[in-house]
Amino acid sequence: MSTAKITETARYLTFRLGEEVFAINVFKAREVLDLSHITRVPTAPDYLRGVVNVRGNAIPVVDLRSKFGLPQTAETLHTRIIVMDLLIDGQSVIVGGLADAVHEVLELEPHEINDPPSLGMRWRTDLIVGLGRRDDSFIIILDIEKVFSTEELATLTPETAAIA
């Protein structure tokens, strides 16, 4: 369950994985990139697709579908890499997240966000800040820093991670 009730209006970057729409706080996203060549890193875990070159820096790219246990699909013209600046255990880490599509930046008021239900959720509720309501659908708002554990980020060695 979310640890803190959202009390202020915030802006979120929305993206799609399969049929679900997710969102992260827009301040965690540095930029959105078109899909480019991802260099595979030997012995990397399955969820780590490899690294991309972003202005001379090797940025690790995590397959968010794999991270959430979704089946793999072919990449399309809409596939994007969301470059995020995360603070994990006091350390700033830049990581890319592979998404099926990136939609928009939207603003949600606190009254438009529900707590995630404690039962019947397909997703781990400790990773979810809330469920944003938009028209007749819900947007799963992630605590993106909780999606990545300290142990997983340890696999992002200096050769595969950009430390800010």
* Confidence class for position 60, pLDDT limits 50, 70, 90: very high
Considering the domain boundaries, does residue 16 fall inside one?
A: yes
Higher-confidence position of 123 and 54: 54
Instruction: Report how far residue 101's alpha carbon sits from residue 80's, in angstroms, rounded to the nearest whole number.
Output: 6
Bigger pLDDT: 26 vs 163: 26
* Both structure tokens of 154: 């340890």
CA distance 136 to 158: 44
Q: Is residue 123 part of a domain?
A: yes
In this prediction, residue 6 carries a pLDDT of 72
In a domain, 45, yes or no: yes
The pLDDT tens digits for 129-139 are 899 988 888 99
pLDDT digits over 118-130, tens only? 655 566 677 888 9
pLDDT of residue 77: 93
* In-domain check, residue 79: yes
CA atoms within 13 A on the CB side of 37: 2
State mean pLDDT over 5-28.
91
139, part of any domain: yes
Q: Which has the closest alpha carbon to 68: 105, 113, 15, 25?
A: 15
Please give the angle made by the CA atoms of 152, 63 and 40, to the nearest 5 degrees.
Answer: 85
pTM of the model: 0.84
The answer to the question of residue 92 being in a domain is yes
State how beta strands 20-25 and 57-63 pair: unpaired
32: CATH: 2.40.50.180
Give, rounded to a whole angstrom, the gap between the first and last alpha carbons of the chain. 30
In a domain, 4, yes or no: no
Classify the phi-psi angles of 90: left when phi > 0, otherwise alpha if psi is within -120 to 50, otherwise beta.
left
Report H helices in 35-139: 64-67
Contacts of 143 (CB under 8 A, 6+ apart): 2, 127, 128, 129
Phi-psi region of 50 (alpha: psi -120 to 50; beta: other; left: phi over 0): left
Stretch among 28-42, 48-62, 116-130 having the lowest mean pLDDT: 116-130
Mean pLDDT of all residues in the chain? 84
For residue 87, what are the domain limits? 10-163
pLDDT at 102 over 70: yes
Q: Is 152 exposed, middle or buried (0-12, 13-18, 19+ CB in 10 A)?
A: middle
- How many structural domains compose the chain? 1
Does a structural domain hold residue 133?
Answer: yes
